[in-house]
Amino acid sequence: MNRNLQNFLNPKSIAIIGASNKLDTVGYLLLNNIIIGGYEGKIFPINPKYTNCQNLKCYKSVEDLPTTPDLVMIAIPARAVLDTVKQCDICGIKNMYIITAGFGELGQEGKVAQQQISAYAKEHNLNIIGPNTLGFVNSAIKLNANFSKSTCKTGNIALISQSGAYLSGIMNKFENSQVGIKYAISFGNGCDVTVHDLINFFNKDDDITQVLLYLETIPYPKDFMEACKKCNKKIICIKSGRSARGAVAASSHTGTLASADVINDSFLKQCGVMRVDTIEQMIGLATIFETTQKVSPIKNAVIITNAGGPAIMTVDALSNNNINLYDFTDEEKQYMKSYLQEQASVKNPIDMVASASIDDYKKTLEFCVKNKNIDAIICIHLYIMGTKSSEIAQIVDNIKMKYPDKFIAGMFITHEEELLKIKKNTKYLPVFNSGDEIALALKSLMKEKANDKPIKKSIKNKTIDKIINDVRSDNRNLLTTYESLQVLHELKLPLVKFGFAKDLESAKVEAQNVGYPVVMKITSKTISHKSDVGGVKVGIQNESQLVTAYNEIISSLKQNKCIDGLDGFIIQEMKSANREFVYGIVKDSQFDLCSMFGLGGIFVEAFKDVCFKVLPVTAEDMDNQIESLKSSKLLQNIRNLPAANIETIKDIMIAINNFAMSYDIKELDLNPLLINNKNGEISLIDARIKI
């Protein structure tokens, strides 16, 4: 739905249903904030109890208004909201902001009432934000239409929050920051207009440079991703709920590892959204983008300081976030020694000692800023004697103005009053309170979001159709080992040689065809974990060992009372490798189908070195999925092992993704993907597929 929210968020007239003269009520605070905020549009209080409300003429209902307002704010008991929405619609009002709580956040009855509002809004092409909201702010038109006591410093940021209380908290923090807000919007339960609609709207607003989000859930993930990828603004997000959800029963490694937050984190990266954990990190990153025209991921940083302690703490913070310190050459060190005090250290950090002058800071900063190998410069000043921090800040700010593409940050350890003065007077220099804040902000920097098209192709295969239909006809949800291998064969994936045997005699034939050494494993419609019942034998060198293996498997199945479930045996080429990876699919309740790539074999759940992506993926998503692993170096030429064939890995990913999307797969594991020790080629030996 392509929404027009211009009149909604920039109204020239506004009505408040539930406006009140009673102090400390939502209706009073909402109207009072609009009045004292300086809003110059028309204001229509509506409440049948009053003829006058806060010195404004008050109307009994929307039907009595002299003109149709651009926006109606609704702050009345929940039981009356739906009828009020209908009444507004009849009167030609299309934009409504529902402040009232008591809907989907409370229970089933509230959910039903909210669904009724949602259905009505959709049917009648309304724009409704809420219910359960704080309200919103548009500082550009001095509209403070919320019932908190928070205000906004005017700026170029759009702030969207699922939580009204958190919105108020963020606005309070921004008051003493270097950046300001144009829009601050609480969207609450999001029964109609939701976060992706707002992102689309802000993307068209030339005043907006950044979109900041606080989300508890991600409504409509596909629409959210589309909106984020289209958005040409920086998007920074606090996504609450990092603690792991309760374990969900899963039949695959992929399902077991698919915690809510792991997928949330990967999804936001996939959308091109920068995730942070705190308001301070959000403000820090927003300040960087507001003051630096071109920001790239940081590789090498330099610290310029007059105090060793804060510098060392900043070094630790950078190190903990994998940000390197630049190593100066001997020639560069010699140059700095030529003008700095004798006791100064010209290593990194550059400690110019407590008595460092304005000129020391200026020369050192100008020297570093011209070095193309230095990505970030952090200037620290501790006020002890002589030069004030505000004087140093002014010098650094002037240099930052000359180099808008260079990342320079300031950290000034002084009394609170001077620090606030520095933040107020520096226009180009982002000012931070600690090295931790700087390091976390730098860590969050990322490259521009990719806009390449998702890779998606529907698979039509008669053999696969029959396999899936047979499984469903048997009321099963898990494919047998043989059925799974057949699927991989039909997808033209690099399987090791294998054959199917019904009994010992046919097993002997298949072993000859495959070639010793071989693996013998059972395939069954009722036995899901082969190893648990002794159903796998490896390293079989000859026919004599094959007979022994066969007899041992039969004996174990009888002992475990599952011999009746045996369908036959897979005879498979014996393969081993020093490097094993895993690829899988899981169907998530929120994001639908997700893929996982990671370190495999017996270590998959031990190290959890995996990366999830929401399907469908782009080519860049696949590259990121591979490169983001800590173990990705194992895919390169390492020791005497050749580099893995990455293109084959990507081909496997694409084929499995398309299969999963075409057949609505619930879970799938390819574990392991074996990397050949001699040529780096990829081999698959097993699959676990759940429909």
pLDDT tens by residue, 647-676: 999 999 999 999 999 999 999 999 899 999
Cα angle 68, 70, 74 (rounded to 5 degrees) comes to: 90
- What pLDDT, in 10s, does the model give residues 216-235? 989 899 999 999 999 999 99
**3-state SS track over 175-188:** CCCCCCEEEEEECC
Give the single-character DSSP code of 474. Answer: T
The residue assigned the tokens 């609480």 is 186
The token duo for 660 is: 């999963």
Q: Domain 497-574 belongs to what architecture?
A: 2-Layer Sandwich (3.30)
Question: Contact 507/571 with Cβ under 8 angstroms?
Answer: yes
What burial letters (b/e) apply to 24-42, b meaning 16+ CB within 10 Å? eebbbbbbbbbeebebebb
Q: How far apart are CA 584 and CA 257, in angstroms?
A: 10
- What pLDDT, in 10s, does the model give residues 265-294? 889 999 999 999 889 889 989 998 988 877
Q: How far apart are CA 408 and CA 397, in angstroms?
A: 9
Q: How far apart are CA 489 and CA 339, in angstroms?
A: 71
The token duo for 335 is: 């140059």
| Helix or strand holding residue 225 (H, E) | helix 221-230
Q: Which residues contact 637 (CB under 8 A, 6 or more apart)?
A: 643
Question: CATH assignment of 6-287?
Answer: 3.40.50.261
Q: How far apart are CA 659 and CA 546, in angstroms?
A: 35
Specify the pTM.
0.86
Q: Which residues contact 107 (CB under 8 A, 6 or more apart)?
A: none
Task: Check whether the bond before 517 is cis (ω within 30° of 0).
Answer: yes
Angular region, 54: left φ>0, alpha ψ -120 to 50, beta rest? left
The token duo for 652 is: 């496997």
Residue 521, phi then psi, degrees to nearest 5: -140, 150
| DSSP H helical ranges for 492-579 | 504-514, 543-559
Residue 656, phi then psi, degrees to nearest 5: -70, -40
Q: Which residues contact 437 (CB under 8 A, 6 or more apart)?
A: 280, 281, 284
The CATH homologous superfamily for domain 296-444 is Succinyl-CoA synthetase domains (3.40.50.261)
The residue assigned the tokens 């601050």 is 184
pLDDT of residue 258: 55
Q: Which residues contact 322 (CB under 8 A, 6 or more apart)?
A: 443
Q: How far apart are CA 216 and CA 662, in angstroms?
A: 31
What is the identity of the amino acid at 448?
A: E
Q: How far apart are CA 23 and CA 31, in angstroms?
A: 11
Question: Contact 648/494 with Cβ under 8 angstroms?
Answer: yes
Distances (CA, A) of 264 to 16, 221, 272, 538: 37, 10, 12, 39
Give the single-character DSSP code of 5. Answer: -
Q: How far apart are CA 412 and CA 398, in angstroms?
A: 16
Give the single-character DSSP code of 495. Answer: B
CA dihedral 252, 254, 256, 260 (to 10 degrees): -150
Question: CATH assignment of 579-690?
Answer: 3.30.470.20
406, HSE (Cβ side, Cα atoms, 13 Å) = 25
Give the single-character DSSP code of 251. Answer: S
Q: How far apart are CA 478 and CA 481, in angstroms?
A: 9
Cα angle 365, 368, 371 (rounded to 5 degrees) comes to: 150
Q: How far apart are CA 368 and CA 330, in angstroms?
A: 14
Question: Contact 576/674 with Cβ under 8 angstroms?
Answer: yes
Q: How far apart are CA 269 and CA 510, in angstroms?
A: 47
Question: Contact 16/45 with Cβ under 8 angstroms?
Answer: yes
Q: Helix 164-174 to helix 279-291 angle, to the nearest 10 degrees? A: 50
Residue 220, phi then psi, degrees to nearest 5: 50, 70
Total number of residues shown for the chain: 691
pLDDT of residue 248: 43
The token duo for 137 is: 């702010």
Question: Contact 16/30 with Cβ under 8 angstroms?
Answer: yes
Helices and strands in the chain: count of H runs, count of E runs: 23, 30
Question: Contact 678/576 with Cβ under 8 angstroms?
Answer: no
The token duo for 288 is: 């960087």
Pairing of strands 592-599, 610-614: antiparallel
- Percent of the chain as helix, strand, coil, to the nearest 5: 40, 20, 40
- Could you report the average pLDDT of every consecutive run of 10 residues in the chain (691 residues)? 90 98 95 96 97 97 97 96 97 97 88 96 96 96 92 90 92 89 95 96 96 93 94 93 50 54 87 91 90 81 93 92 92 95 93 92 95 93 85 94 91 90 90 88 70 86 95 93 96 96 95 96 88 91 96 92 90 92 92 92 76 92 92 90 96 97 94 93 94 93
6-287 and 296-444: identical CATH topology: yes
Angular region, 98: left φ>0, alpha ψ -120 to 50, beta rest? beta
Q: Where are the domains of the chain?
A: 6-287, 296-444, 497-574, 579-690
pLDDT of residue 253: 47
